[in-house]
Amino acid sequence: MLAIDMKGKLAFVAGVGDDRGYGWAIVKAVAAAGARVCVGTWPPLLSIFQKSLERGRLDVALPGGGELEIEKIYPLDAVYDAPADVPAELREEKRYRDLEGFTVQWVADAIRNDYGDDCLDVLVHSLANGPEVQRSLLETSRAGYLAAVSASAYSMVSVVQRMGPLMRPGGAAVSLTYLAAERVIPGYGGGMSSAKAALESDTRTLAFEAGRKWGLRVNTISAGPMASRAAKAIGQIDRMVEYYQSNSAMGGVNTANDVANTAAFLCSPLASGITGVTLHVDKGYHAMGMVARPHLTPDPMAAPKKEG
């Protein structure tokens, strides 16, 4: 039987703060495949996340049996590349001042110190933020637009820059994108559609550059919308999910596990020939060219009824 085997591999998943989003599902999927997993958590969520994990409030059951064990949790604010980039006032902010390090470079250095050189096999970018996501693009400020691109797209570049040297041969990186990179999604504003378009473009370029430099494969998953805690910031996420439910090619919406299993596959040896790809996991919604109106025949391949 051909199975995803990630035994002996070390994964780092950036952007995990609860057990409701795609990031957590990916953590569980790669762990179920046998990988050891470390995560990066945004500092304002770090204490809550750690306490929830310690108190058994998170769903740690693995597909196929067993329980998830996270090797290490690193504080990570991927808006900042190196210690010199952190504003002085943020260093003194209550949720940051007691942390040893939370920039991308700090975390890369910490992983090297904890596991040595050539230690990583899997790199997952589950990071996105747009402070003005509820504003239309016409109403988005320059600062809001650049913040969205910085947190949601350039952060992937930064993570690959600094963690690529830690990747072992055959390593893979995967990020999460959204259909707004390709099509207009009303309500998904604040520059987030531009950020996702940049992320997809960067995926192709990084596949070439990081592939030639470190042998790293780089792909991104265009997932359908899910009403996670983070996605609530969009403001109309429930309507977006309902629309997908009615109009996807297969009917219904993808689950977190659908996306997580795809991520595990892309990061496994089974996908050794795949890189530079934007892979849609959305029940075929991206393929639709019109609304799936209820009065259309449920079976488009059914033979037409005979007259008389």
- pLDDT, one tens digit per residue, over 118-132 is 999 999 999 999 999
Residue 106 to residues 83, 86, 163, 181: CA-CA distances in angstroms?
7, 12, 11, 30
Alpha carbons 83 and 66: distance in angstroms, whole number: 39
- pLDDT in the model for residue 182: 97
**What's the structural domain count of the chain?**
1
Q: Domain for residue 4, yes or no?
A: no
- pLDDT in the model for residue 184: 94
- pLDDT in the model for residue 282: 95
User: With a cut of 50, which residues of the chain have pLDDT below it?
Assistant: none
Containing domain of residue 44, as a range? 10-287
**Catalytic site positions:** 178, 188
Q: Give the sheet arrangement for strand 70-75, strand by strand.
A: 70-75, 36-41, 10-14, 120-125, 167-177, 217-223, 278-281
Q: Domain for residue 302, yes or no?
A: no
Q: Domain for residue 238, yes or no?
A: yes
- pLDDT in the model for residue 238: 77
**Residue labelled with tokens 């910490």:** 110
What's the whole-model pTM score? 0.92
Alpha carbons 11 and 262: distance in angstroms, whole number: 15
- pLDDT, one tens digit per residue, over 53-69 is 999 999 999 988 999 99
Residue 285, token pair as written in the block: 């919604």
Strands 120-125 and 10-14: parallel
- pLDDT in the model for residue 225: 84
CATH value at residue 144? 3.40.50.720
Q: Domain for residue 1, yes or no?
A: no
- pLDDT, one tens digit per residue, over 193-240 is 999 999 999 999 999 999 999 999 999 999 988 765 565 566 567 788
Residue 173 to residues 62, 204, 222, 265, 276: CA-CA distances in angstroms?
22, 12, 14, 11, 10
DSSP single-letter state for residue 117: S
Q: Domain for residue 2, yes or no?
A: no
Q: Domain for residue 170, yes or no?
A: yes
Q: Domain for residue 292, yes or no?
A: no
Q: Is the distance from CB of 235 to CB of 188 less than 8 angstroms?
A: no
| Mean pLDDT score of the chain | 92
Q: Domain for residue 167, yes or no?
A: yes
What are the backbone dihedrals phi and psi of residue 165, each rounded to the nearest 5 degrees, phi first? -65, -15
